[in-house]
Amino acid sequence: MRKAEIKRKTAETDIVLTLDLDGTGKSDIDSGVGFLDHMLTLFAKHGRFDLQLACKGDTQVDDHHSVEDIGICLGEAFAKALGDKAGIRRYGSMLLPMDEALVLSSLDISGRAHLSYTASIRARKVGTFDTELAEEFWEAFVRSAKITLHIRQLAGRNAHHIIEGMFKSVARALREAVSIDPALAGEIPSTKGVL
């Protein structure tokens, strides 16, 4: 069973997150940040991951600590649920249109953390959500998941559409990358023998 439960408690956040890589896209998200709830709900749906999240954070300060720490926990959950990564496809990509926005996500479950993020979001906020926190979320995620992730905004003006395109695109690329390749027969998909 490719599942994980992550608990993280700091002076700034208290998080419990569960992830099932082989789910159906069900989610129960309470991050304390409304826009992030929306993004993680569609992330679970498009990735076909079952995801539960409860976060109590110091949102009276701002949303930064909650968003970053949730990214850390989600990354840790992927790393834990994947185990030794035997039999996975490893790579995934998705070019996803979201109305006028177009976002490319490409990733490698490599054991090496790297984020390449190219986006031009003109609005500073979507509702109360600081748009710069999208990059902070993905940076925290890749560090904890130890994956290489490239996100490219190729078109778009609306901040909501651009960020939503990112979450859907990454979810679908991850869905591809974590899927089991029957041709690998449980092998580690690397000449090194380890990821």
Q: Answer yes or no: is pLDDT of 194 > 90.
A: no
Residue 189 pLDDT class (50, 70, 90 cuts): confident
Mean pLDDT within 154-165: 98
* Predicted model pTM: 0.97
Bridge partners (DSSP) of residue 155 are 102
Q: At 109, is the secondary structure helix, strand, or coil?
A: coil
Distance from C-alpha of 186 to C-alpha of 103, rounded to nearest angstrom? 32
Q: Strands 91-98 and 101-108, how do they pair?
A: antiparallel
**Per-residue pLDDT at 126 exceeds 90:** yes
What ranges do the domains of the chain cover? 3-184
pLDDT at residue 184, rounded to an integer: 87
The Cα-based distances of 18 to 78, 93, 134 in angstroms read 10, 24, 21
* Residue percentage of the chain with pLDDT more than 70: 100
Are the beta carbons of 73 and 17 closer than 8 angstroms?
yes
Contact 106, 42 (CB under 8 A): no
Q: What does the pLDDT average to over 99-128?
A: 97
Q: How confident is the model at residue 153 (pLDDT cuts 50, 70, 90)?
A: very high
Q: How confident is the model at residue 87 (pLDDT cuts 50, 70, 90)?
A: very high
Per-residue pLDDT band for 97 (boundaries 50, 70, 90) equals: very high
The arrangement of secondary structure in 3-184, i.e. its CATH architecture, is 2-Layer Sandwich (3.30)
pLDDT in tens, 54-81: 999 999 999 999 999 999 999 999 999 9
Q: What is the pLDDT of residue 99?
A: 97
Q: Which helix (H) or strand (E) holds 118?
A: strand 114-118
Q: 10 Å Cβ neighbour count for 152?
A: 16
